[in-house]
Structure formats: C-alpha cells, structure tokens
Chains A and B, each alone.
Chain A
C-alpha cells in the first residue's frame, strides 16, 4: 500500500494523475464528513469549541453540523447517555443515511463514566450502537476530538468498497435498523426482553466496531452474575441505614472470584 502510494505520488509530480475508484471514493467521503449537531452533556461544550474558530474543524472538512440525521454522516455522542435518552439516540442513528459513523466522545458515552453505577445512565453507548472511535477524557479537549476525527478519516481511507457492509457482497450483519429500546417496568427492553435494568447490570454485550463486523461481541460484563430485578424482592434485607443487604453479598462473593472465571 505504501509503495503504491509512493508510485502514485511520483506520477502526480510528473503530471499524471492516477487513482482507483476506491481511493477516489474514500477521499471524497473522508473530506466531507458532516456531523450531526447533537450534544447530550458537557462534552457538547467541547464539541462546540471544536467547531468554532480556535480549533476550526473545517480544516478537516467536517464543519457542517447538520440539524437533521438525514443529512449527516457522523454522530458524535457528546456526553452522558441516560436511559431515558437512549431510545432517541438509537432512533437518530437509524435515521442517518449510510455510510454513517459514530464517535463516542468522553468517558460517559464510552463506558458510563462516573455515573456508570448509577440508576439512570447507560454503561457505554456501544451496548446499543457500533462505535468507530472512542475518545477518553472527561471531557476530552477539542484537540482530542480533532484527533478522533483524523482517526476516523484514516479508518475511512482503509475501507475497501467491495467489502463495505453497505455495498459489498459479504456478510451483512446489520441490514435492519438497530433495535430501539423501549421503556419497561424494570428498565430498558428490546423486543420485550429486559436488557438494561435500572439499578442492575446490562445483559447485552457491546457491538464491535465496524472494522470488526459491527456485531455483538458476545462478551457480557460480569456474565457470572445472575441478573434479576430485586427492588420488589422481599428478601432484600437491610444491613444498616446506608446499605441494602440481600443482592449485594452474593454478587460480591461471586465477584471476588472474578479472576477464576474464564474470559470466554
């Protein structure tokens, strides 16, 4: 690939322009990524700085923040995704025109961040959407977001038209919409099945990035923990005023053995 690039550069210097459809296509797409103007929390403030004159994302061709998912390629999940907001986020992603990309900006969108164990925050948007680029930070600086954009552009450069899931002939893992969670009595449900209980651990595995097929990775966080919804459980006794007993001790006991549980 590098040799091919060098030859191509030599030829271009001598006035001969050669390209492949693939390269031309990727160049066009990487140079005009249109993000959706969509912010959820404090990361959105950094995202605004990233779009304005000081950091100036238009140097990289991504300055057109669109207010409609139909017109945008890139969803920057900028901030904390609450359980109540998640169905709208997935719905917006489903409405975006393909090819489409997702950047999980900041600790909350990546993993839930400081609110990870709260009752109201999704533990990483990748449980419900395939994420192309993750950015650590709380919030990440605009430079970090620029770096994520450049990383995304590099990923687009390496895409092969014939193997893209939208065009290629190979496996098409996600030809339907991504399932939009619905609100249930105990938490978020997908097709009537509880996937992300309030006050519990999610029972779904994250999506892998599009590079790796955009499929469910199958790796559920803490698979050894039996998941149930113990709020109405009369066996939940109290240890003292600040601590509920009943569900936690078993989990703790099981989880102290975490190292013995295989990763498979």
Chain B
C-alpha cells in the first residue's frame, strides 16, 4: 500500500521540481481570545507550492507518485493575513492516506491555474470555489457560478461578507 508522508512529499517534490515548494510561513489566523488557549502559529506539514506551478506539482503526484484521485478542493480564508489558501487533496486509488497540496494567493487578486484540463472532476469543485470565494481558475472551461444565481454579485463565504440577523445582534463589539 503506498504510504507517502507529507514530509516525504515535500522533500521529493522539492527535489523533482526545483522552485515549486515554498516555505510555509506562520499565519496569524485570529487574535488571541480573552480566555482559553491562544491559537498556535498555524503551520502544518503539508506542502505549500507556488500558485503558478500547482499543475506541475499535481501532475507529479499523479504521474510519479500515483496519487491520481483528486478528492476535493477546499478554500480557507485567512482574513488577517490577506490570503486565501487553496487545498487540494489527493488519494491513491490503491489505498493509503491522502496527501494535500496547498497554494496561497492574495485575497485581492486570487488567481490559480485550473486543474480541470487534467482532472475533469475538478470542474465543479473549482466552480464552487469561484462562486463562494471568488477565486479565478485560469484555464477553466466554464467558470460560472454554480450555487448562487448568475446575476449575484459578491462572494458569500468570504469572511468579510456582511452578516445581519438575530444571531449577530448584541454580540460583543
């Protein structure tokens, strides 16, 4: 059963594709809470790759390591850091744990190359990320809204999307 660890991936990817792997810098994530544990610097062992070359890294996972199944694409909005993190999760169909590739793009101009030409299954994932977070996937064949209606403006899953309603009334300001 294939079992490539996240650290392993980082080393092998850095050797095979020089300049693709980036150093993971810690994120501020959230201010320390009034009580309880302060959040640790948010660093995981997953590989952070250069946004412009994410397709190369993904193809390396597929063709060399055999991680052919793109399970999901997920976006994390780090508002204080001003970045979006796009997380791609790959599985090997023969089994074993998954591997993640991460990409960081600025919130002002989030542009990532599309994986859809190589993974047709990435089509709807990328449309969802575009719909709810406004990330532009260059090379996507049909980058339109998928959940919200086409006329809608704005990206409702962004952290700065306004909230109004009973739940938010009277919360500490």
Give A residues with C-beta under 8 Å from B.
84, 116-117, 119-120, 183-187, 198-201, 225, 230-232, 236, 238-242, 244, 246-249, 251-253, 255-256, 258
Contact = CB atoms under 8 A, between A and B. Distances in A.
Interface residues of B, number: 31
Contact of A248 (B80, B81, B153, B162): B162
| Interface residue SS majority, chain B | loop
B30 A241 contact: yes
A199 B170 contact: no
A29 B167 CA distance: 42
Which residue, of A201, A244, A253, has the highest number of chain B Cβ atoms within 10 A? A244
A249 B151 contact: no
Given A184-B151, A252-B169, A256-B170, A119 B156 contact: yes
A252 B172 CA distance: 9
A244 B170 contact: no
A122 to B, nearest CB: 13
Nearest to B169: A255
A251 B162 CA distance: 12
Contacts of A199: 154, 156, 161-164
Contact of B167 (A117, A186, A230): A117
A234 B79 CA distance: 16
Contacts of A232: 153-154
A185 to B, nearest CB: 5
A147 B2 CA distance: 57
Interface in B144-173: 147-154, 156, 159-171, 173
B78 interface: yes
B15 interface: no
B31 interface: yes
B153 A244 contact: no
B29 interface: yes
A146 B23 CA distance: 61
A255 B170 contact: yes
B85 to A, nearest CB: 13
Contact of A238 (B79, B154, B164, B169): B79
Given A241-B30, A241-B31, A251 B153 contact: no
Contacts of A120: 147-148, 156
13 contacts: A117-B165, A187-B152, A198-B154, A198-B156, A199-B154, A200-B164, A231-B154, A231-B162, A238-B160, A241-B30, A241-B81, A247-B162, A252-B169
B39 to A, nearest CB: 10
A185 B151 contact: yes
B29 A244 contact: no
B160 A244 contact: yes
Nearest to B171: A252
A30 to B, nearest CB: 37
Contacts of A183: 149-152
Contact of B164 (A251, A256, A258): A251
Nearest to B79: A241
Nearest to A189: B151
B36 to A, nearest CB: 15
A76 B18 CA distance: 60
Interface in B1-44: 28-31
Contact of A244 (B147, B151, B163, B166): B163
B153 A241 contact: no
B163 A117 contact: yes
B152 to A, nearest CB: 6
A252 to B, nearest CB: 6
A241 B83 CA distance: 11
B164 A198 contact: no
Contacts of A252: 168-171, 173
